Amino acid sequence: MTITPIDATTTAAWEALTAHQTSLEPDLRAWFAADHDRASRLTRTVGDLHVDLSKNLVTDQTLALLVQLAGEVGLAGRIDAMFAGEHINVTEDRAVLHTALRRPASATPPLIVDGQDVDADVQAVLAQVDAFADKVRSGAWTGVTGARVATVVNIGIGGSDLGPVMAYEALKPYVADGLTVRFVSNIDPADVAETVKDLDPTTTLFIVASKTFGTLETLTNARLARAWLWEQLLAAGAIEDTEAARTEAVARHFVAVSTALDKVAEFGIDPANAFGFWDWVGGRYSVDSAIGTSLAIAVGPHNFRAFLNGFHTVDEHFRTVPFEQNVPVLMGLLNVWYVNFLGAHTHAVLPYAQYLHRFAAYLQQLTMESNGKSVRWDGTPVTTQTGEIFWGEPGTNGQHAFYQLIHQGTRLIPADFIAVATPAHPLRDAGSPGGEADVHELFLANFFAQTKALAFGMTADEVRAAGVAEEIVPARVFSGNRPTTSIMAPALTPGVLGQLIALYEHITFVQGIVWGVDSFDQWGVQLGKLLAVEIAPAVAGDADVLATQDASTRGLIEYYRANRT
């Protein structure tokens, strides 16, 4: 039975938050000056993550009202429903159980959902992925010529790409010597062409990663990769020009990850080389399923398990810790505060960790495909703004690009800053003007300085006191009161990465529950896909199909056909 979402805007907490917002005059300078405990009181811990919420535009009362709101929309019940495997993905009538992917093998009692022993299924596939990863890493798995794998190419898009590529980049220091993973996602032929052009086919393994095994981009790229493999192996004299040799080449150089194992077999990949998962894993929540096989090969089964344990630590926190101390709950509620009460439209995620350079791109799918909805899970229109535009780049690069707008622009942009204490590369700069410097410390000084500048700004008097000419004082003033959350961890380990991902998964869930949307469907991506199939013949020259197009689309296609050389 579908429960009706509780309309957050009708709750007493919403009314109280509206009144509270009207009377609140955020003043982080004054708040910190008057309240020496503010930083410690508003800092929380989850797993290895130290999360300082104190530079947000909230008082204790704001947080209390937000927690009240979570209670009034029934968040606790929805969390329980998700972990129990209820079909909370209403529009697709599915359970939402990415949390089951990281339950330890020893978890009791077993999780039975829709008559299936989910734990047993998960552990069986994990064992398969581990065994395969070990074979590739040890050289026991070879290509047709007997050469061991040097390059893994993951072919997938959306959740079947963004998670693996983000995590692979984040965990580069853990990647085995002699192994590289590349990623092909775009149907722009430039992507696959550039990715394979310098590869040795005899040492290349392709992983076709697609939940549905029906995604146009992925299947097209997989066929292009297969054609490239055959052509290159033939040219190198590595295989005979026979059907049997081609079949054998695919068996040795292609594996697949999918929920649709029948379609994998149709493509020609041996089902013995296919790793399954289940429809209760959303694409954007799947990096911790067999979709992470490329990562498991790169960093090894041991580190992949540590990655999963990191997720589980945050899952347990989210499931059990009271809302006042619950980091994903508080961060999700803060986002609601900014979007619905303070008018923010976007949210910056700014990792001070070069290895996290794809983290914001990953979060874009996680958050925006989940919560970019205009109807609630019962089909009624939403009653308030939903979603936020997530974006970001690693610091300090962003400082020299878009931070100007965050510091002095007219928009409110809440930002999450992420940093780790221990660098992967403890380099020192012997030629630093102030004497030999630890470069990671210079890097972190920027991290600390930015959130400080955003929170406390610089007044006109302070600008004048620095000797600035009066006419440019206004341009040099920083208003401050620009909210940030600082997240720190001891180091960017597989476990910490898992914790960070799970944190944002659950933040997204909290926002979805407050807004009453189904955070686990993605119908909004369908129309464009259908139209692309419909338009394709016109692009290829079918005049009848062209004639049915609107004038703008027709004109654009005609331009293409006239200008293609």
Query: Applying CB under 6 A, which residues contact ligand F6P?
Result: 157-160, 210-212, 215, 218, 283-284, 369, 522, 525
Minimum CB separation of residue 542 from ligand F6P in Å reads: 25
CA dihedral 468, 395, 62, 341 (to 10 degrees): 90
H-run or E-run covering 45: strand 43-46
Active-site annotation holder among 400, 436, 470, 471:
400
Minimum CB separation of residue 277 from ligand F6P in Å reads: 10
| C-beta closer to ligand F6P: residue 327 or 368 | 368
H-run or E-run covering 43: strand 43-46
Distance CA 505, CA 82 (A): 12
| C-beta closer to ligand F6P: residue 256 or 546 | 256
Minimum CB separation of residue 262 from ligand F6P in Å reads: 14
Residues 327, 492, 481: CA angle, nearest 5 degrees? 50
| C-beta closer to ligand F6P: residue 173 or 524 | 524
| C-beta closer to ligand F6P: residue 284 or 373 | 284
Distance CA 430, CA 129 (A): 45
400 is known as an active-site residue: yes
Minimum CB separation of residue 149 from ligand F6P in Å reads: 23
3-state secondary structure of 319: helix
User: How far is CA 52 from each of CA 40, 393, 481, 496, rounded to the nearest angstrom?
Assistant: 8, 20, 15, 17
- Structure tokens that stand for 238 in this block: 């590595």
- Structure tokens that stand for 285 in this block: 């929540």
| C-beta closer to ligand F6P: residue 156 or 498 | 156
Conformation bin of residue 320: beta by default, left when phi > 0, alpha when psi is -120 to 50? alpha
Q: What's the length of the chain?
A: 565
- Structure tokens that stand for 493 in this block: 């380990």
197 is known as an active-site residue: no
Amino acid at residue number 339: V
Minimum CB separation of residue 159 from ligand F6P in Å reads: 3
For strand 116-117 and strand 49-52, is the pairing parallel, antiparallel, or unpaired?
unpaired
Distance of CA 217 to the CA centre of its chain: 20
Minimum CB separation of residue 285 from ligand F6P in Å reads: 9
Distance CA 277, CA 118 (A): 11
317 is known as an active-site residue: no
Distance CA 102, CA 272 (A): 24
E strands along 292-394, which residues? 346-352, 389-391
Distance of CA 30 to the CA centre of its chain: 36
Minimum CB separation of residue 364 from ligand F6P in Å reads: 12
3-state secondary structure of 235: helix
**Peptide bond before residue 109 is cis, with ω within 30 degrees of 0:** yes
Active-site annotation holder among 441, 529, 534, 558:
529
Residue 130 CB neighbours (<10 A): 17
Minimum CB separation of residue 158 from ligand F6P in Å reads: 3
E strands along 65-179, which residues? 112-113, 116-117, 151-155
| C-beta closer to ligand F6P: residue 33 or 525 | 525
Query: What residues are labeled active site?
Result: 369, 400, 529
